[in-house]
Structure 1
Amino acid sequence: MLKNNCPVQFGYSDVDITPDWPVELVGFDRIDNTSKGVWHKLKAQVLIGKSAKEKCCLITIDSLGFTVALTNKLRDLIANEIGQSREKVMVCFSHTHSAPNAGIDERYYTFVCKQVLSAVKKAQSTTSTLKVGWGVAEGDIGLNRRGQQSIVDKRLGVLKFSDNADIPKLLLLRVSAHANVLCSDNYKISADYFATTRDLLEARYGCKVMMIQGAAGDIRPKYQQENAEYLEVHGFEASMKSYSVEEKQKYFQQSIAALEQMAQSIYYSVDSIWKQVHPVSVYRLAMFSESHVFKADVPTKEKAIAIANEAQKEAGIDGTSWLFEVDRLNRQNVHIQKADIEIQYFVLNDGSLCGIANEVMCEIALDIEKQAKTPLLFFSGYVNGTSSYLPTAQEYDKGGYEVLWSNLIYYQYHGRVMPLNRETAKSISEIVANTWSRFLGNGILI
């Protein structure tokens, strides 16, 4: 167990990453995605953990997500700063749909890297000994947007950090609901409900609050403006529609109310178990990664045309450039595209935050929880980048936006024209559960 003369120390810092110039937003398929002001400022938050054997860094960023390549570049910069390897740096994205597109805006990406590095330096210089305690509340903040209303990961992960006098210093939450309370009719930069939730909980508990997005690939927020579903399905067409001043004001007020409802709901969930979470000394701290190669089949020309026609008909998505890319791959006899998927784990005592860069459907996280036989293994998406959706085999067969149509828009960022093959989710679930079992079986302690 932990020796008294080797206490684990943690350092925290946050920094503003809001651009002060107009940027292209990412997250909605619109004619014009240029930002028009700021609603909520964007944050990057840094948590450094170090013991005699381990030093690692957890970072949360208010962004839809950088590409894996850009995220790894940032991780390498941070790893160099803390004197560790890349696998000791985990970057988690909130997946807000009201943030800049760092994938095409080099100025913004460079700005974020600079700001995050400054926060890392500050976090390293302000470490202190803290205790940690896990808790699991039930959070009712999401709905399954693929018609399976009963399938939602309601686990709200609570990780409380306190000093030796049991005064809370940091609260880390893992939630599962898309950060798109604000819909495609919003052009203001915003951290979405992450912003309103952090503000509320920091005021209530008197400590800093970090939030990790979970397996929310098929989970939309429970509270939104009344036309949110229409905007989500018909985003491109809706962006061409003119709303009256009265309609704009009505939806604006509904969005304000929805953001507050999301924050209040999360607060009530946390508060229901707050006094039951008793931090203890840290006896296990680890961060590590494993990589596995998975495949995605390239569709034939005929199948690609059918997918593009369906996407155009059902969601108004133009698949012209995607069809050109599929045709190019077929002409070069490329029928399979491969992806090296990194699965990363951040372990504290008997709980873990782990995940991959894909947009993970909630059923996968629930399957991992079941196989691992612990609610404290929180599998998430948007970890170390944002890539294509990862559907279950059942949802893969159904197709739709998350499985097929979204690729027509975002394939250029994923490096693949199709999602990973249908058996991938099952394989990853088994890998994570087995890795967790082996890790605990090794009895690894500080």
Structure 2
Amino acid sequence: MSMPMNSRKRYFHVGTARVCITPDVGMPYLGYGWDRQDPFLGVNDDLWAKALVIDDGERAAALIACDMIGFPPAPFAASVREQVAIHTSIPGEHVMLSASHTHSSHASIDLSTLELEWPWVQELIGSLAGAAIAAWQQRQPAMIKVTSGEIHGISENRRVFRSDGKVYRNWDRTVPGAEVRRGPIDPEVGVLLAQRPDGSPLAVLSNFTAHPICAMSQPLVSADFTGLAMTAVEDALGPGVTALFTQGACGDVNPPVVRRNVRDAREVGLELGGEVLRAAASLLPDEVPATDCRVRVATKHVTWEYRMDLMPKDAAARAYAAATEKIESLKRGGASAAAVRAEANRHRDALENYMLTRNDARREEGEIQVLAIGDSAWVGVPGELFCQIGLDIKKQSPVAHTYIVGYANCYQGYFPTPIAYTEGGYEVNVGRWSRFTAAAGVSIEETALELLRAVV
């Protein structure tokens, strides 16, 4: 069988660019909890959107990696893609947006009682598209090499099963009962290196699986450990190198240190950055072969049904109205922010049922996208995929190096394994973060494998 013409080429044309997306102090951040409306009080480290454009001469694709918790709902991704397509030769469906899921970033997903700040959203659309356009304009010859490393000790499955029969999160250190078991982690560190003809590194695209929530209890802007890891990589490799991070199937995976401070984020980031550097360094020698020079993209839209255990619409509206009145009464009475937050969390079910039933929607469409570069494939999923599903996709993939890109293009909540719905726990409680039936996770695995077979 003859080889495709593109596979005989040694060089892609690769471009990178970045734009700072640090929010203004005073903008709300999400953190964790129902009353997610606290403002930022300062900046620990900047947030970035970094674009990587890869062109094989016939097809081109762009990946825009962002220090964000996630992307706003439609038409956000479509708007970014449209601008990129207008100003480059990259088709809109060949653009993948990737969010690291840092919780110390803008309130950009629909999990708060706040309305999204649309003037800021419009500015963000221009910033992300502008980074991809700039990367397109700065393309230069580069080889692509891919490998994987492995790191233990900076991630653990956060669903802790204890002897009382309940599922706790890994930061619940003082709960009663002995630990019985936990779910899996994915220690793989994926690394794609773009290398100039003179051997110098141009870009490093990496992938790892763990929630960036070391610093989420602090009212400070931070890319958390994932962004700090990329800063460490760029500092080590020197000027002219762009390091981009993509998040894996981390729906049920956390770092061991959670919700504490930015020092923890820095320490975990240095460990991750060190493994990315080790893997990237192993690709630098001339004798390490470059990957085939081919870009392929496949995408499919699927429909997921909303779960059936929601309150009836009228009952949800009444419960929400009663809860809102209690919370507002506390505010009028001068209650502390902590007291208001505690009351709000007591009524979380009322809020979430109301938000999910108010518009009569019973299903929602989502996009699964595969961006294949040489012998690597990056599988975009619009939310928080459970680790086991990601591992199963990787194991069955026909592409040598397959990585899950969670929080891609949109945020549509958790995608647990079917058994998790019977086990219980936060990730499967009714809420905007968990609005689909168990069939959604199954369909993602099936669709991802279908698309992976299509790009071989």
Q: Which bin holds the TM-score, normalised by the shorter protein?
A: 0.7 to 0.9
Change (3 A) 1:260 1:116: same
Instruction: State the 1:328 CA deviation.
Output: 5.0
Partner Cα separation in structure 1 for residue 45 and residue 299 of structure 2: 33
Deviation at 1:4, TM superposition (A): 6.4
Conserved in 2, the CA contact under 8 Å of 1:97 and 1:179? yes
Aligned equivalents of 2:140, 2:98: Cα separation in 1: 23
Q: Secondary structure at the match of 2:362?
A: strand
Shift of 1:83: 4.1
1:326 and 1:171 map into 2 onto residues whose CA distance is 40
Mapping 1:216-231, distance limit 5 Å = 216-224=250-258, 228=259
User: Is the 8 Å Cα contact of residues 11 and 143 (structure 2) preserved in structure 1?
Assistant: no
* Greater displacement, 283-292 / 353-362: 283-292
* Residue of structure 2 equivalent to 1:156: 189
Q: Structure 1 regions of 5+ residues with no counterpart? A: 229-250, 441-446
- Checking the alignment, whether the CA contact within 8 Å between 1:26 and 1:97 is kept in structure 2 is yes
Q: 1:102 to 1:270 in 2, by over 3 A?
A: closer
Matched residue of 1:28: which SS? coil
Residues 84/260 of structure 1: CA separation in 2 closer, same or farther (3 Å cut): closer
SS in 2 for 1:52: coil
Q: Which residue of 2 aligns with 1:9?
A: 13
- 1:356-386 per-residue CA deviation (whole Å, 9 max, x = no partner) reads 1121111111011122266611123200011
Q: Please name the residue that 1:91 is paired with.
A: 97
Q: Structure 1 residue 162: deviation in Å?
A: 0.4
Aligned residue for 2:209? 176
What is the identity, as a one-letter code, of the residue corresponding to 1:260?
R
Distance 1:118 1:297, change over 3 A: closer
Aligned counterparts of 1:395 and 1:149: Cα–Cα separation in 2: 12
* Per-residue deviation, 1:397: 1.9
Once residues 21 and 256 of structure 1 are traced to their aligned partners in structure 2, the CA distance between those partners, rounded to angstroms, is 17
Q: Of 139, 158, 161, which aligns to 1:145?
A: 158
Asked if 1 retains the 8 angstrom alpha-carbon contact of 2:304 and 2:366, the reply is yes
Distance 1:272 1:328, change over 3 A: closer
Q: Choose which of 197, 221, 232 in structure 2 pairs with 1:200.
A: 232
Counterpart of 2:447, as a letter, is: I
Matched, 1:380 2:405: yes
Q: In structure 2, what is the equivalent of residue 64 of structure 1?
A: 69
The 3-state SS of whatever aligns with 1:297 is coil
Aligned: 1:430 with 2:443: no
Tell me: CA distance 1:325–1:424, structure 2 relative to 1, closer, same or farther (3 Å): closer
Once residues 265 and 86 of structure 1 are traced to their aligned partners in structure 2, the CA distance between those partners, rounded to angstroms, is: 36
Q: Give the aligned partner of residue 22 of structure 1.
A: 26
Q: What are the superposed Cα offsets for residues 413-443 of structure 1, whole Å, 9 maximum, x if unpaired?
A: x7xxx53211322232122223323432xxx
Provide the rounded CA distance (Å) in 1 between the counterparts of 2:280 and 2:23: 35
CA contact (8 A) 2:300 2:447 kept: no
The one-letter amino acid paired with 2:300 is E
User: 2:351 aligns to what?
Assistant: 321
2:136 matches 1:120: no
The one-letter code of the counterpart of 1:13 is A
- Counterparts of residues 242-253 of structure 1 (less than 5 Å): none
Counterparts of 2:281 and 2:10, CA distance in 1: 28
Identity of aligned residues (%): 23
Q: C-alpha distance in 2, partners of 1:129/1:326? A: 49
Q: Which amino acid aligns with 2:309?
A: P
Distance 1:91 1:374 in 2: 21
Aligned to 1:243: none
Structure 1 residues 25 and 428, CA, compared in 2 at 3 Å: closer, same or farther? Answer: same
Contact kept in structure 2, 1:132 and 1:281, CA below 8 Å: yes
1:12-411 map, 5 Å: 12-29=16-33, 30=35, 32-69=37-74, 70-102=76-108, 104-140=116-152, 141-147=154-160, 149=182, 151-184=184-217, 186-206=218-238, 207-224=241-258, 228=259, 255-277=261-283, 278=288, 280=290, 282-299=292-309, 301=311, 316=346, 318-325=348-355, 328=358, 337-372=362-397, 376-405=401-430, 407=431, 411=432
- Residues 291 and 375 in structure 2, CA contact (< 8 A), matched pair in contact too: no
The alpha carbon displacement at 1:22 in A equals 1.8
Whether the 8 Å CA contact 1:75–1:91 is kept in 2: the answer is no
Q: Give 1:281 deviation, angstroms.
A: 5.4
Taking a change above 3 Å as real, the CA distance of residues 267 and 102 of structure 1, as seen in their structure-2 partners, is closer
- The answer to whether the 8 A contact 2:230-2:244 is kept is yes
Given that 2:204 and 2:280 are in contact with CA atoms closer than 8 Å, whether structure 1 keeps it comes out as no
Please state how far the C-alpha of 1:341 moved relative to its aligned partner: 1.9
Mapped contact 1:365–1:380 kept (Cα < 8 A): no
| Cα pair 1:294 1:340 within 8 Å, conserved | yes
Structure 2 unaligned regions, length at least 5: 110-115, 161-180, 324-341
Q: Report SS of the residue matched to 1:46.
A: strand
Contact 1:171 1:210 in 2 (8 A): yes
The alignment's C-alpha RMSD in Å is: 2.9
Distance in 2 between residues matched to 1:139 and 1:427, nearest whole Å: 29
Deviation at 1:271? Answer: 4.2
| Aligned-residue offset at 1:164 | 1.6
Query: What TM-score does the superposition give when structure 2 sets the normalisation length?
Result: 0.79
CA distance, structure 2, for counterparts of residue 295 and residue 96 of structure 1? 28
> 1-side partners of 2:83 and 2:273: how far apart?
35
2:221 alignment partner, SS class: coil
Alpha-carbon distance in 2 for matches of 1:112, 1:316 = 34
| CA distance in 2 between partners of 1:46 and 1:123 (Å) | 6
| Deviations 1:140-186 (CA, angstroms, capped at 9, x unpaired) | 221111125450011110111101222111111101111111132x1
Q: Shift of residue 285 of structure 1?
A: 1.0
Moved more, 375-384 or 91-100: 375-384
More helix by proportion, 1 or 2?
1
CA deviations on 1:225-256 (whole Å, 9 max, x unpaired) are xxx4xxxxxxxxxxxxxxxxxxxxxx5xxx23
